[in-house]
Amino acid sequence: MIYLVTGGSGSGKSAYAEEKLCSLGNDNRIYFATMEVSDKEGRKKVERHRKLREGKAFTTIEQGKNLKEIKIPKNSLVLLECMSNLLANEMYAPGGAGEDSVSEILEGVWNLDRQAKALVVVSNEVFSDLPVSKEMGRYLSYLGEINAAIAKQAAEVTEVVYGIPVFAKSIAAERKPME
C-alpha cells in the first residue's frame, strides 16, 4: 500500500512521513535516503534527518538512483525520502536515466510497492506561477508526472502545510501492489 506525502520545503512532511510509517507497525523499517550530498548545506540536512530517525528502528539505505533492481525483505515498511532528490539524480547525475527518468523512477516505486507491506513516498510541492527556465520546467513537469502516477495508485495522499497534514485522498480498502 502506498502513502504519498507532499509539502513545501520545511513543511514538516518528513517528520509526518516517519510518524505515518511508524504508526503502521513494528515490522522491518527501511529508510531509502536519495539525497546525494555535495555541499555543507546538504550534509546539515542529512544530519537533521538522521536525528529525526533516531530510536525509530530504521535501517537506512542510501540509494540515489536505480530503485527498480532493489530487493527488500517481504512485508517491510519502507520510507522513500525524497522524490525530488531522486528525480534530480536520475536526470542529471552520471549513470542516471536522463530522458527516461519518469519511467525509471516509477518502475522503482512499483518494485518497492510489490515487496513492501507499506511504502511511504515523500515528495516536494514545488509548483508555482513563477517563471522558470526551460530545464527547470522539464524537471517540474517530470516531478508532476511522477507525483500524479504515484497519487493515482496511493491509498492515501497527504500534503503537509505548516506542519498540519491535509488529506487529499484516503482509501480505507486494501489494494494489490502494482503488477
Q: What are the tens digits of pLDDT across the range 82-136? A: 999 999 999 999 999 999 999 999 999 999 999 999 999 999 987 766 778 999 9
102, 105, 99: which is closest to 34 by C-alpha?
A: 105
For the record, the C-alpha cell of 157 comes out as 495522499
Residue with C-alpha cell 516531478?
A: 143
Domains and CATH numbers, the chain: 2-170 (3.40.50.300)
What is the residue-averaged pLDDT of the chain? 90
Q: Which amino acid is at 143?
A: L
pLDDT at 173 over 60: no
How many residues in the chain? 179
Q: How far apart, in Å, are the Cα atoms of 161 and each of 5, 92, 151? A: 11, 29, 17
